[in-house]
A and B are shown apart, each in its own frame.
Chain A
Amino acid sequence: MPTDTYGQIVNSSVGRFVAQRAGLPRPVELDRHVPGDPVVRGCVLLGAAPGDARLAAPLARVLASAGAQTATSLEEPVRSAAAAARLDAAVFNPAAPGDQRFKALVFDATAIADSTALAALHAFFHPTIRRLQSSGRVIVLGTPPAQAGSPRAATAQRALEGFTRSLGKEVGRGATVQLVEVAPGAEDQLEATVRFLLSPRSAYVSGQVVRVTPSRLHPGSDWERPLDGRVALVTGAARGIGAAIARTLARDGATVVGLDVPALADDLRAGMERIRGEAMELDITAADAPAVIAGRFARKGLDVLVHNAGVTRDRTIAKMPADRWDGLVDINLSSEERINDALLDGVLAENGRIVCVSSLSGIAGNAGQTNYATSKAGVIGMVEALEPVLRERGQTINAVAPGFIETTMTAQMPLALREAGRRMNSLRQGGLPVDVAETVAFFASPAAAGVNGNVVRVCGQSLLGA
């Protein structure tokens, strides 16, 4: 793993002094999940905009289920919601605050039905944001604008995104800020998303919008090992992010089949041995690959398919030979479509998952990557197109879009470009492969039945493509 030398220097005693004087960015070491840890270590302040806050009660239930320490104002509806959920919530009054600190601020904004009512955001966050601890979490919950019910309500709900994206850039100290849009009827699908976003599992996810939609499935979950008894296929599993995904899914209880090209067979086998997974040496662009994969899982079924395999073949379009285009698009996109077709033909199980790996390039574009960005934007298109199809079957498809992740690939970048990549985000540091893997594991978890058609960037809220 390449080390973040700059980050180490500015967090040393001398370096901190210099960095503060010079106004240099000083990344904090992010909290990351360790098995057995609580969902959130510290107090969660639950708030709601005045009015018909339809998520206050379900949020209180999630916090109770997560065993979180909580606080609320002495106002309704949060106080009754907390009582009904059997939360022994402390009292927080911004007018008499004492020295209370919070690890997370969770705000139900669904009652905001008019732009004038957006002042509730200021009222809740103005006195509390400085009380947020390091690696803190801010979650604002709203309604998808299209389902908000009236033009004014839709306007106000759409406005929430500007708030969370800006707050993400303000908070600092490793804190993250998200907007969760919960469709009417999806109030019972909150838990997987809220747990993920509250926990250190979402360390490098910030400034995102996660949509939660209704699902007829309400799978219970062993939150410590949510993937127990489930079978997962991870492509490109020999190295880097793919290997991290395989490890993380195995940690969460999955039986992992790691797939990679025969040239990387040694790495793949070593990695799979460590997690008691199975190695599958295969070129996914081979004509018979879809059939081979489908055959392998025909009997035992497949619960989670992670399309991680991908390559870069950078050249400007003027200098790019046709084979650099064709080969890349085939690996990064077309082969995934073919495999999907084969597995959706009865192999992917009920409540099955497809998780794709897109890229910031696919969202923002990148010079020298017309081919790569085309394939990764195509992945997003695939997610959006297949979402209704999979929803019909009680399955989901989502994508992660990693930003600057510390891998052997980024370690080879020129220094200036690498430093720029690391710092040009709200968390002022690169992410780790495990950060991408945690998000994949969230999408893959059986309880995330209401998370469908999402593209979540794991980029520390990169300035690119925002």
Chain B
Amino acid sequence: MNTTPRRVAVVAANRIPFARANSTYAHASNQDMLTVTLDGLVDRASLHGERLGEVVGGAVLKHPRDRDLTRESVLGSRLAPETPAYDVQQACGTGLEAVVLVANKIALGQIDAGIACGVDTASDAPISLNDDLRGILLDLNRARSAGARLKALTRIRPGQIVPETPRNEEPRTGLSMGEHTARMALDWGVTREEQDDLAARSHRRLAAAYDRGFFDDLVSPYLGLERDQNLRPDSSPEKLAKLKPVFGARNGDGTMTAGNSTPLSDGASAVLLASEDWARERGLEVLAYVTQAQTAAVDHVHRGDGLLMAPVFAMPRMLDRAGIGLEDFDLYEIHEAFAAQVLCTLKAWADPVFCRERLDRDAPLGTIDPDRLNVNGGSLAAGHPFAATGGRIVGGLAKALHERGSGRGVISICAAGGQGVVAVLEKPEPTDT
């Protein structure tokens, strides 16, 4: 048995442009989007008919019929039908967690190559039967006599026509993610200006990356969309400043707007991971290596931790284990769920009090040079189909490191439920030839 972990290479990535919810992809299902995204990757890496070790993926908003969404998507794709697959679900951490799972199996030699993917649609949302009505119908199904059936049917009321829709709120606090983030913004004294600046920068950088062709081998057009629909290349802090606050606005001091929060989005992404030997045999270039990963969770329910602050805890645990500092990276990718979330994260890592009291460190974890952060845009500009964001970031960072020739990049993704995933990608200096 192989006991020495192998290096895990990011070999290729593909995604479809992200669309705003209830727009271009309104009638595309999760399975539609994931299948076409897998096929794009198959084309890009010449995987037609290939039996891969495993495909791992998931979606956050999922229909009951999609119980094996990833496997069904594989069957619909041009990968060999003998490619096994399974679903994972960790809210917005799904995409990156899938990468970690595939990478670990490759590292251990259990598989040689696999795809980590994710998809989400906020348009084709799983609306389900009213819970009361569902109970009645199940009782009806269980009833053995006509009388019992009639009795069950008499319980039906007009109000039960109202369906159950997926709610964007934390089950244990009843607060939406935006309201949770508004609390974090207040806790950390995040200003409207900081948030709008960050959002404008995200649009500017994503537009510039598209313009210079950075996404040519990362994004495949879909349903007529060639770039992310949410992207506003002419966005500016001045324009963003005109938007009305939508979260935390009760006291008139709200700072979070539709412009500095990610919109509900539809889209899918996929990343091909492999051992070095597997990539070499197929003549595929290694973009970067997955070298570290860490998950963490906070207690947003009782302790009052910021809901989206888990990456703040995950990062030092990973860095300490790897023996590297926060400032030892060439590129940083922090998922922009909300501009305020990124800013709270940066403030926490730089704050001596937080680092002392909550991270148990004698000195702040460190600061991040804004010129190295989300250099090719982030979720605020691209949009955020929940489970697809991890793949978008891993693919983008691997390519950016490959472009640089060498370097080290770190990814930080916050997730609902008070969770977070962080990971490191590295591209070593070329040794000889």
A residues apposed to B, CB below 8 Å: 72-74, 79-80, 82-84, 86-93, 95-99
Tell yes or no: B372 within 8 A of A by CB: no
A99 vs B253: C-alpha distance when bound (angstroms): 9
In angstroms, how far is the closest chain A Cβ from the Cβ of B334?
18
Scoring B188, B190, B255, B353 by chain A CB atoms within 10 A of each residue's CB, the highest score goes to: B353
> Are B186 and A98 in contact, with the CB atoms below 8 A?
yes
Cα of A86 to Cα of B355 in the assembled complex, Å: 11
Query: Out of A73, A80, A98, which one reaches B352, CB within 8 Å?
Result: A80
Contact partners of B15 in chain A: CB under 8 A: none
Residue of A nearest to B356 (CB): A83
**The residue from B187, B191, B350, B357 contacting A88, defined by CB atoms under 8 A apart:** B357
Closest partner residue, chain A, to B355 (CB atom): A83
Closest to B185 in A: A96
Contact A95 B352 (CB under 8 A): no
How far is the CB of B175 from the nearest CB of chain A, in Å?
A: 16
Considering the chains assembled together, what is the distance between the CA atoms of A90 and B351 in angstroms?
11
| Smallest CB gap from B189: residue in A | A93
Closest to A81 in B: B352
Interchain CB contact (< 8 A) of A95 among B191, B355, B357: B191
Task: Known contacts A74-B347, A82-B352, A86-B356; decide if A95 and B253 are in contact (CB<8 Å).
Answer: no
Closest A residue by C-beta to B361: A83
Task: Report A124 CB to chain B, min CB distance, Å.
Answer: 15
List the B residue with the shortest CB-CB distance to A80.
B352
Q: A87-B353, A98-B253 are in contact. List 18 more A-B contacts (CB 8 A).
A: A72-B353, A74-B188, A74-B350, A79-B351, A79-B353, A83-B351, A83-B356, A88-B357, A91-B189, A91-B351, A93-B189, A93-B191, A95-B189, A96-B189, A96-B191, A96-B255, A97-B253, A98-B189
Choose one: B187, B188, B251, B347; the contact of A99 (CB below 8 Å).
B251
Query: Which residues on the A side are within 8 Å of B253 (C-beta)?
Result: 96-99
User: Chain B 364-384, CB within 8 Å of chain A: the 1/0 string?
Assistant: 000000000000000000000
Q: Mark B381-408, 1 if CB is under 8 A from A, else 0.
A: 0000000000000000000000000000
Q: Please list 28 pairs of residues, one from A and one from B, whose beta carbons are closer than 8 Å in the complex, sorted by A's number.
A: A74-B188, A74-B350, A74-B351, A82-B353, A83-B352, A83-B356, A84-B352, A86-B356, A86-B357, A88-B357, A90-B187, A91-B188, A91-B189, A91-B347, A92-B189, A93-B188, A93-B189, A95-B191, A96-B185, A96-B186, A96-B190, A96-B253, A96-B255, A97-B253, A98-B189, A98-B251, A98-B253, A99-B253
**CA separation between A99 and B347, bound complex, in Å?**
20
Give chain A residues whose Cβ lies under 8 Å from the Cβ of B351.
Answer: 74, 79, 83, 91
Whole-angstrom CA separation of A91 from B251 in the bound complex: 19
Chain B, 177-205, contact with A by CB distance < 8 Å: what is the 0/1 string? Answer: 00000000111111111000000000000
Q: How far is the CA of A74 from the CA of B353 in the complex (A)?
A: 9
Residues of B close to A72: CB separation below 8 A: 353
- Number of A-B residue pairs at CB separation under 8 A: 57
Contact between B189 and A89, CB atoms less than 8 A apart? no
Chain B minimum-CB-distance residue to A99 = B251
Q: Chain B residue with minimal CB distance to A89?
A: B353
- Total interface residues on B, CB under 8 Å, equals 20
A82 nearest CB across to chain B (Å)? 5
Residues of A within 8 A of B356 (CB): 83-84, 86
Binary contact track B214-249/A, C-beta < 8 Å → 1, others 0: 000000000000000000000000000000000000
* Cβ distance A68 to chain B, nearest Cβ, rounded Å: 14
Taken together as a complex, chains A and B put the C-alpha atoms of A350 and B197 apart, in Å, by: 62
Q: Which residues of B contact A99 (CB under 8 A)?
A: 251, 253
Distance in Å: Cβ of A9 to nearest Cβ of chain B? 35
CB distance from B355 to the nearest CB of A (A): 7
Docked pose: A88 CA to B187 CA in angstroms: 13
Bound Cα distance from A188 to B175, whole angstroms: 46
Tell whether, in the assembled complex, residue B251 and residue A74 are in contact, meaning their CB atoms are under 8 Å apart.
no
Contact at A91–B352, with CB atoms within 8 Å? no
Please give, as numbers and ranges, the residues of chain B lying within 8 Å of A84 by CB-CB distance.
352, 356
- Closest partner residue, chain B, to A83 (CB atom): B352
Q: How far is the CB of A271 from chain B (nearest CB, A)?
A: 48
Q: Check A91–B187 contact: CB distance below 8 A.
A: yes
Q: How far is the CA of A95 from the CA of B187 in the complex (A)?
A: 13
Known: A88-B357, A99-B251, A99-B253. A79 touches B189 (CB 8 A): no
Contact partners of B347 in chain A: CB under 8 A: 74, 91
Contact present for A74 and B355 (CB under 8 Å):
no
Q: Smallest distance from the beta carbon of A59 to chain B beta carbons, Å?
A: 15
Q: Judging by beta carbons under 8 Å apart, are A96 and B192 in contact?
A: yes
Q: How far is the CB of B92 from chain A (nearest CB, A)?
A: 25
For the complex formed, measure the closest distance between the CB of B341 and the CB atoms of chain A, giving whole angstroms: 15
Looking at A87, A95, A97, which has the most chain B CB atoms within 10 Å of its CB? A95
Whole-angstrom CA separation of A97 from B191 in the bound complex? 9
Least Cβ–Cβ distance between B95 and chain A, in angstroms: 31
Question: Is A83 a contact partner of B353 (Cβ separation < 8 A)?
Answer: yes
Smallest CB separation, B94 vs chain A (Å) = 31
Q: Which residues of B contact A73 (CB under 8 A)?
A: 189
Chain B contacts for A98, CB-based, 8 A = 186, 189, 251, 253
> CA–CA, A89 to B358, complex, Å?
12
Query: Could you tell me the distance between the alpha carbons of A93 and B353 in the complex, rounded to whole angstroms?
Result: 15
Give the CA-CA distance A73 to B188 in the complex, in Å: 9
A82 to B356 alpha-carbon distance, docked (Å)? 10
CA of A97 to CA of B350, assembled, Å: 20
**Complex formed: what's the CA distance from A74 to B189 in Å?**
9
Name the CB-closest residue of A to B357.
A88
- Across the interface, name the chain A residue whose C-beta is closest to B248: A98
